[in-house]
Structure 1
């Protein structure tokens, strides 16, 4: 009786080789150089809604509103925010209020870092929050990030940021945010590159900080 020859269920070695080559090639592509998806431009009605939510009685609503302000490009906010100084004042008041939930205070700090010139008068308050050991690490790391985003106006406080980075007693996430802030402050931070290098080379330092 004739029987139909069975095909082997094993794939061809040639096919496996080709797939392995393609996979390896894809892994070698310079993904890090790919452009990030651009942030969508906010519409005026969106900004107006976010601003209204800042006065909501529920803390989580305020937190979400501040987080949204932190996501948009500063140049877009500068155009669409009708009273940025008032928004900055609200954010600063919440940031400094010890009775407010840490997550809300942290989001307020992030928003301040995105408000540009309107927030610069509150930089000393942000620095005080960063340096205060009694403040929750969630708030302190957001304060560090905010300083890094406020540009030239924050550069006089670079020594304070460096001290936070070098302080082994400070929470790891706060130190990491301090390192990122220094990287964002450009030329003004270059004299502290040796300190950053020492942190990077120190194997006893946590990987998150390095």
Structure 2
């Protein structure tokens, strides 16, 4: 039975905790072939085994580590974020990203942002900063931009619509009228 990657890692960790932390006799755990034979039987590379062993010796047990990067070099600097938040409060009326962007250009020239390694962020980044600080109002009544995209059938000559209407004739019997429509012409009625 083939084991999945997660089950293999759990197996390695359980064996290593028994051997390294709880000091169980390695010969009783790994059997006659030792570590190499155990790894071959369980289809685990010895490099992975020893990497796990070093980490358990260092930390006492294997815990998944965060995948978050240690630094975010492209994140907007705190000084720029502070300036964005201040301009949001200073401007009267329309204090959206467009006007804040315009005002930040003047501040950048006056205060020498380029010497600090800063630049004026684009409007999309200004909106992200404002959202992060809770200064943007969500307006669900606005029509989403995706609704402006026009639907177009891939092959319009193959696009037909069939409607059926039941009508009562003058003598009392019922009849069904079928209409076959095409977007560019009326195909048939019967």
Which fold has the larger relative contact order, with Cα–Cα distance below 8 Å and residues 6 or more apart in sequence? 1
Greater helix proportion: 1
TM-score by length of 2: 0.23
TM-score by length of 1: 0.22
Structure with max Cα Rg:
2
